[in-house]
Structure 1
């Protein structure tokens, strides 16, 4: 057996190269094979190189010349498939849908066009700037809930921001958009109406109908800062309240056999029933009107809302039918001068409330269901609720030194005959003096009144300044004079109601509530 091949001449073994096996020096290594593969140009690689060269060699044009020449901007290279680009400061979560991103570009031109033609409804900017707005947002609602004098602060949240923005941008709404407001619940539209009085512009009867239309029952209406201003005058409110807004048709049971059949008596008598839209109101706020608000129109308005139980007339002017004749007189050679109007210029100083008491008596006859009254800022005529029927200088005998007669005082007519159900009257003056001014007044106070002021001292603000001490003192004396008249009025009202076994009225003075 032979295990190897030997060269007979040299006596050595023959090499493996003689039998076709390659040596390690002739065979390519792994790195050599990989470098050779990288140099092979495939069709896909050649196409990528051409695209990259085209994008790099594309000539660039400055932005100014590009706009002039109309050259399109070069598009950036497209990302590789399957690779997600990372955006700087991107909101976490999935990307927003395209419908959200395209909303601004779709509607922005329409909103800009409407903003250019805003305020074409006849409401002047001057009257809007001079409008007396409520001091607090949603004042009527807070007052009804008893939260007006608490430190609740301004409302917040998404609903508040939305309603405020809608009120501020109400000029962008066109009459063609008003039918879409019916889809909004009535409670939100009524809340928006309150925001309109605090943040929004002036409105007219068309806007009011759009915000109050629908099939839901309308019981609350807050027109604070809106009624009487601009095109929404009290006279137009009277026409709107008297108009029929909803129609309910009743079809007869019998169906005619032909079109030529004559109408029956039943179909003629029952074609439809008319129900006024505002006839169901029970809570109404007409506060913060202009100084030219008409009491004649208010009396006409009260006839259309006879079901009212809560009424706000805050900051209304003195009740009179002749506001432009307060300083006019009628002169004659054979008689002394006579006042042309029902109230003269110094009626408040003379405690002459004859005309105011007569108009309040007419108002009470139209609103028999009243249980709640807001008369804030009306301190100059609130004493008319408890004055004599013939004025302060009447010859009718008085029962006591307070100045009212049980037989002829209008307080009996109003709070014992027509208004039997009132339980709350807010008669705050609308402002409070500093505590320093109250303590240093020269006016002597009743013991119970002084003790009450001491207990409620936290309601009064700090003094204006150390240099305005005399101003604080005079303001405190003025406030005390008016406040004592209001307290005396509350005493007269409740004395009559207690004599008739009626529940006394709670008088809210803004800093305390009590049945005086």
Structure 2
């Protein structure tokens, strides 16, 4: 006798643990019934005869289903406690019943999951508490296969490879088995699949079709769920059905019981009535024939349906009207069988409405506790409510599209299994050799049918599962390790500052970038030494904690605090945005539907600094700021007041309106979206992620915010509609040496002074924000040339007419513009003589160091090992001086880049002032920064150098 698991049965240790668990529970319940309760059993003889006829699993020809009402948590153990003791100690585990238990109650903890798994209970999900529930979940598939002739592989609900073996995460599998026989109910868990063993063919399953406990003084049942119909219709042979009626267990464990709730109440009257075995052919024969014809019809329409494993259905077989009608009729007949046993107990007939779903829907949203008709439903301790109760897609991959199938296969193969997992799995699943004994024949019978890889890819059929592993696989000795990995594999090539950006060819880290708390006007900030400032800073620093634990209470904050809190989040929560779960503005403003528009009408300022690309996109922000405009009917449009063409014709228009002679103004055209924040005046989109800063989405959103007067686009990248094509070149089809830029902007745009695309985008921007009075473009030094472009490029082409933005048109009301660099050099400048000369590093250091240092200094690279390496002759002081020289040259380059950006800003200032002066426009104040003392000193020094030259 084999101790380990085989294709016929689980391991001996697992079977012994299961038999011991069920025997102890059965003996304990029988002792409670006989010693502490008043037991009445009816129809036991016919039921025990049926169990005796099923002792030998090799002679069983069909499965067994027992169906009963559900009135207590003690129904299942006490009901089988009524059986004689020989049916608890002499029966092997594969002759005992299999049941279904709620996953969120029975399998909520690891000890509970182990106990109920050994007690032959399969986890089921309920749609009210889990998105994985429903009629087509994987546990129902296991039930169908248990009632049929097995074994069956766990496909298509095969659990992950790392969950096939027993571990602290996977406790519901056989710890003494090497066979991959676990299936999954959620995609992340694993449970032993009993249908994978041939000993469980034509098993016994007990089910409570009501799906939940229902205690009522009238002793009526709820409507039956349709899962029992799938067990009867889809099993390979029609199973025997035995109805059972239980009474009295609701008094043993009533849902209204007081402390201690976990102890059953003794000295109660309990009755268990076993009905006669139903006539299969008379009751279910016609239904099964109609189901068979429906399946044959589906196979003709789609040949892939014939390849589906038992218990897996296509979309047509799931939701076809005829299939739904068959399940409804089958469930109604099963309920009639239980009602017949109920009548035998002398109970009056129940109201026919009790079998209808509509009757129980009238109870309202309340799911547990006492109902209006004095009945009680099960009251579990705690549930995790799910936002969506839509069941997971259970369609077999062969019925999906080829693209979908390929994507699913690639994601599951690459995302769920690592290389080490695949190698370890292949080592354990080698095919047995013919000389290993008779066990090879049993294993081969369970192998699924295979398909050539070419045909499998065409039909989008999933990969064939690997063969079963050998039972006597011996542990291999660890092989001799190979050479150590190269040092280049171990070196971290990622820079310390992940937010490093190029500024005039110089790398600038995030620590040098200026993040201003009071960047956007429109609100008064509390003093830095006030309690309010400290609290807002603390909330922003721990914002994720407040989102998780404060939740909807954040909506109750005053509007002014919300406005301030957004600015503090952008300032002090920059490092946690990768795991931000704030979902945009939903945590601070109730914007889930159109009815809540009035709740945000008083918001005039939104500071979304560092938000774009971190925890929201421009497109997502647009969907939260804008809502679809309500549709207007023709009657409403005709009743609207007509705008006359001229004042003289106003009287005539009021008397006789002709839409042909007096067309409406183009501005009166109804808009498709309206602004949710109707009084929004101040908006900041500063410091976006350059990858996610989309100018196209920005230009689509801003025309709908016509009330905007203050806008911050600080640190936005160069204006282009194709940011991913900046570094892309297109080769000429006939002249390979000739290449062109793939988009309107490339890496040479600034050098060639070709701002065609950028200037066009800025003109669209100014027309979309024609009410602006304040514009912040700090940190946009790389494209400031587009603001003062004269329309001429270095290639000498035809100049463009009025290429710059409309400073005297749409932007005529702008009175303040920020054009500062937005960052600070790493030092407070350099000496004038050093800055003016700006000698190359090698030229200033050649005379002080040996020749070997020149390579280090000029190339700024570490020395390479080799026969010509001269680092051995250098002292520590020499290397220290070389590093100081490199750092000094870096500071010189940063200072030059800082001055170059200020020089561009000064050029834009002179250009705009000249245009405004020529047309008599308003005076514009240009700001280059200088809020802090250090920044002000650097700015004054740089501007003096620029004006001096």
- Shorter chain as denominator, the TM-score bin is 0.5 to 0.7
Matched, 1:419 2:811: yes
Once residues 566 and 793 of structure 2 are traced to their aligned partners in structure 1, the CA distance between those partners, rounded to angstroms, is 40
1:161 paired residue among 518, 534, 554? 534
Corresponding residue for residue 730 of structure 2: 330
Partner Cα separation in structure 1 for residue 716 and residue 795 of structure 2? 25
Change (3 A) 1:384 1:169: same
Out of 550, 566, 577, the residue aligned to residue 193 of structure 1 is: 566
Match of 2:820 among 428, 450, 462: 428
For this pair of structures, how many residues does the alignment match?
Answer: 333
Number of the residue aligned with 1:68: none
Asked which structure has the greater CA Rg, the reply is 1
What is the aligned counterpart of 2:690 among 275, 285, 291? 291
C-alpha distance in structure 1 between counterparts of 2:704 and 2:572, whole Å:
29
1:235 aligns with 2:628: no
Flag the 1:479–1:193 CA change in 2: closer, same or farther, 3 A. Answer: closer
* Contact 2:718/2:758 (8 A) holds in 1: yes
Q: Relative to 1, partners in 2 of residues 1:371 and 1:167: Cα closer, same or farther, differing over 3 Å? A: same
Q: Does 1:410 align with 2:837?
A: no
Contact 2:585-2:624 within 8 A present in 1 as well: no
- Distance in structure 2 (CA, Å) of the matches to 1:392 and 1:212: 51
Question: Does the 8 Å CA contact 2:752/2:795 hold for their aligned counterparts?
Answer: no
For 1:192 and 1:347, how far apart are their aligned partners in 2? 39
1:64-463 map, 5 Å: 135-136=514-515, 138-141=517-520, 155-173=528-546, 177-200=550-573, 201-202=576-577, 203=580, 206-213=583-590, 214-230=599-615, 232-243=616-627, 276-292=675-691, 293-334=693-734, 336-389=738-791, 391=793, 393-396=795-798, 408-411=801-804, 413-433=805-825, 436-437=829-830, 439-440=832-833, 441-442=835-836
Name the TM-score, length of structure 1 as normaliser.
0.56
Partner of 1:501: 920
Q: Deviations over 1:419-451 (max 9, x none)?
A: 10111111111234555537333389xxxxxxx
Secondary structure of the residue that 1:338 maps to in structure 2? strand
The structural deviation recorded for 1:352 is: 2.2
**1:489 shift after superposition:** 1.6
Match of 1:255 in 2: none
The alignment partner of 1:320 has SS state of: coil
Contact 2:808–2:919 under 8 Å retained in 1: yes
Q: CA deviation at 1:497?
A: 0.7
C-alpha displacement of 1:234: 1.0
CA distance in 1, matches of 2:768, 2:718: 19
CA gap of 1:353–1:204, structure 2 versus 1, over 3 A, is farther
SS of aligned partner of 2:806: helix
CA gap 1:135/1:432 in 2 versus in 1, 3 angstroms: closer
Cα distance, 1:170 vs structure 2: 2.8
In 2, Cα distance between equivalents of 1:438 and 1:498: 38
- 1:354 and 1:317 map into 2 onto residues whose CA distance is 16
Q: How far 1:156 moved relative to its partner?
A: 2.9
- Deviations, residues 351-407 of structure 1 (Å, cap 9, x unaligned): 22221111111111111011111111110111201103464545446xxxxxxxxx8
Whole-angstrom distance in 2 between the partners of 1:350 and 1:423: 31
- State the distance in 2 between where 1:319 and 1:376 align: 14
Map of 1:8-19 to 2, 5 A cutoff? none
State the shift of 1:220 in Å: 0.6
The superposition leaves residues 316-352 of structure 1 with CA deviations (integer Å, 9 ceiling, x where unpaired) of 1111111111122222344643211111112222222
What's the offset of the Cα at 1:158? 2.0
- CA drift of 1:298 comes to 1.2
Q: Distance in 1 between matches of 2:563 and 2:683?
A: 12
Cα contact 1:205–1:240 (8 A) shared by 2: no
Of residues 875, 892, 895, the one that matches 1:476 is 895
Deviation at 1:314?
0.8
Cα distance in 2, alignment partners of residues 138 and 436 from structure 1: 25
Relative to structure 1, the CA distance from residue 173 to residue 244 in structure 2 (aligned partners, 3 Å threshold; closer, same or farther) is: farther
> How much has 1:480 moved relative to structure 2?
2.4
CA separation in 1, counterparts of 2:916 and 2:837?
30
Q: 1:396 to 1:189 in 2, by over 3 A?
A: same
Distance (Å, rounded) in 2 between the aligned partners of 1:220 and 1:422: 18
Judge conservation of contact 1:371–1:421 (CA < 8 Å) in 2. Answer: yes
Task: Give distance in 1, aligned partners of 2:516 and 2:899.
Answer: 28
> Hey, what's the Cα distance between the residues in 1 that align with 2:707 and 2:608?
17
SS in 2 for 1:209: coil
Paired residue secondary structure (1:418): coil
> Using the alignment, how far apart are the partners of 2:810 and 2:541 within structure 1?
42
SS at match of 2:808: helix
Q: Tell me, what secondary structure is at the counterpart of 2:537?
A: helix
Relative to 1, partners in 2 of residues 1:227 and 1:278: Cα closer, same or farther, differing over 3 Å? Answer: farther
Cα distance change on mapping 1:277 and 1:443 into 2, 3 Å = farther
Query: CA 1:146 to 1:314, structure 2 compared with 1: closer, same or farther past 3 Å?
Result: farther
Q: Which runs of 5+ in 2 are unaligned?
A: 1-383, 385-493, 500-509, 591-598, 641-672, 839-883, 931-938
RMSD across aligned positions (CA): 4.0
